[in-house]
Amino acid sequence: MNKEFPKDFLWGGATAANQCEGAWNEDGKGMSVADLMTSGSRKSPRRFTRELCSDCFYPSHEAIDQYHHFKEDFALFGEMGFKVYRMSIAWSRIFPNGDDRLPNQAGLDHYRKVFETLKANGIEPLATLSHYEMPFHLVEKYNGWLDRRTIDFFVNYCQTVFREYSGLVKYWLTFNEINVLTTSFGGLLAGGMMPQTDTTLLLTGQAKETPEEIAARFQALHHQFVASAKAVQIAHAIDPNNKVGCMVAGMAVYPYSCNPADMIATQKQMRLGNYLCGDVMVRGTYPAFAKRFFSENHIDLKLAEGDAEILQKGKVDFYSFSYYSSGCVSTDEELVKTSGNMLFGVPNPHLKASEWGWTIDPSGLRYYLNELYDRYQVPLMVVENGLGAEDKVEADGSIHDTYRIEYLREHVNAMQEALEDGVDLMGYTPWGCIDLVSASTGEMEKRYGFIYVDKDNAGNGTLSRSRKDSFYWYKRLIASNGTER
Ligand code: BGP
């Protein structure tokens, strides 16, 4: 018999507005950076176009049309027994340009209905404030987060929604996978900085950046840290029940060998990839190792007076992260480079990978949870995890996604181990609980859901929803609080 999870454990699922809502220009919504990202595939990467091009396909424009299907979707989540639903508010629905003086009432009304419907289904919302969907006007006019004025625009947006939804929403995340800004492809996706050309997205990390571009990413990141810390303080002032978390892409890495050089390289990567952001957001200050990294990379961070105090006063209440796979670090240049989800390194000979080449490593989740808890001692939450895979619909409409169940079961087992190790884990929201558009490739057929959505990569389909085998599995798991897996 498996052990039960903590009584108040938050089981649920996760999505993001730009990947599921659609209705990209309805009810006064402004264009976001995601609305200019074309579809792609495993072989040909998505592109970002600096303006809309008539013969391009932009998957965010309709996505799975959750904007119009949310009642049906939330009823299905309720049927599975979700305690929490992680979703994101599209900033450009509330402030279409980002720098508007007044919010868009239709956008505010929409999310009020969303939150009320969740509550009616017994589901607590967990709202991400910025999930790869910056209003495009801010990208064009201000170069996104590189401009310090963006802090005020974001803070104004946060204050508006904290006030508006006070009493309806208590769990918040500021920036999705904020640490993507520490990687070479984070500039546009996470930082909203305008590229000079129509660019490809999420390649394999070989993008050659100039020292100025690297410095710009870290300056933009600093502005996000300050914005996040201000948002935390405002959230607490508006409602002391508000809990605000950071959201970091889990980049657990192992040394490929016991060569000390591999170990040092791994430590460096753990620090830069995970702990730089975690330390600033949980401890309220830059870690000691940042100084050398900045100086070796000619990064002369511009801190305004008072920034250090803002960071110190705006520490998050909990640490949330995505976890799909682990990476492997080698200093041996001969070893082939492969790509993972925002993680690069050499293939780990002990692990298998998904159809999209993402290494599958449940033990890495236990390892990572323990590392984080040792370091931060705040509640942790796994807000993304899952297997992107192609599904086959049988003649009778059933979908036997045993591979997904197996992946999730192993990761639930790993969380249980971590709980027994003493980790304070508050919840689990597997990614793409309903099929949605893939962030890295723009495909529909890289599916994560418990719920199947009839739509293909070219945008064809009825958008009808149906339950996969994993739906029933997850429902039982939640009902038994983790014992039936
Ligand atoms: C994370 C993002 C999500 C999500 C997920 C899966 O990095 O926060 O938005 O999409 O990865 O990635 P993909 O959609 O590329 O399979």
Query: Which residue in 177, 209, 296, 445 is the catalytic one?
Result: 177
Detail the DSSP E strand segments found in 239-398: 243-249, 253-255, 318-322, 327-329, 338-339, 344-345, 380-384
Distance, CA 175 to ligand 1 centroid (Å)?
A: 14
Residue nearest to atom 14 of ligand 1 (CA): 438
Coil, helix or strand at residue 329: strand
How many angstroms separate the CA atoms of 326 and 367, rounded?
10
Please report which confidence band the pLDDT of residue 185 belongs to, taking 50, 70 and 90 as the band edges. Answer: confident
Segment 217-242 shows an average pLDDT of: 98
Segment 279-283 shows an average pLDDT of: 98
The percentage of residues in the chain with a pLDDT greater than 90, rounded to a whole number, is 89
Residue nearest to atom 9 of ligand 1 (CA): 439
Segment 107-136 shows an average pLDDT of: 98
- Whether 384 sits among the annotated catalytic residues: the reply is yes
pLDDT per position as a tens digit, 410-438: 999 999 999 999 999 999 999 999 999 99
On whether the CB atoms of residues 386 and 436 are closer than 8 A, the answer is no
- What are the tokens at 258? 């016991």
* Mean pLDDT of the chain, nearest integer: 95
Question: How far does CA 44 lie from the centroid of its chain?
Answer: 22
Point out the least confidently predicted range of 105-119, 198-212, 283-297.
Answer: 198-212
Predicted pLDDT of residue 340: 42
Q: Is 341 in the pocket of ligand 1 (CB under 6 A)?
A: yes
Coil, helix or strand at residue 88: strand
* CA-based R_g, the chain, Å: 21
Predicted pLDDT of residue 133: 96
- What are the tokens at 93? 């629905």
CATH of 10-479, one of 3.40.50.880, 3.40.50.300, 2.40.30.170, 3.20.20.80: 3.20.20.80
Predicted pLDDT of residue 90: 98
Amino acid at 21: E
The percentage of residues in the chain with a pLDDT greater than 70, rounded to a whole number, is 97
Q: Is 471 in the pocket of ligand 1 (CB under 6 A)?
A: no
Segment 315-320 shows an average pLDDT of: 98
On whether the CB atoms of residues 430 and 471 are closer than 8 A, the answer is no
- Whether 484 sits among the annotated catalytic residues: the reply is no
Rounded to 5°, the CA angle 345-300-312 comes to 85
Amino acid at 45: P
Distance, CA 439 to ligand 1 centroid (Å)?
A: 5
pTM of the model: 0.97
Q: Is 438 in the pocket of ligand 1 (CB under 6 A)?
A: yes
Query: Which residue in 124, 133, 384, 443 is the catalytic one?
Result: 384
- What are the tokens at 13? 């699922």
Among 127, 110, 162, which Cα is nearest to 14's? 127
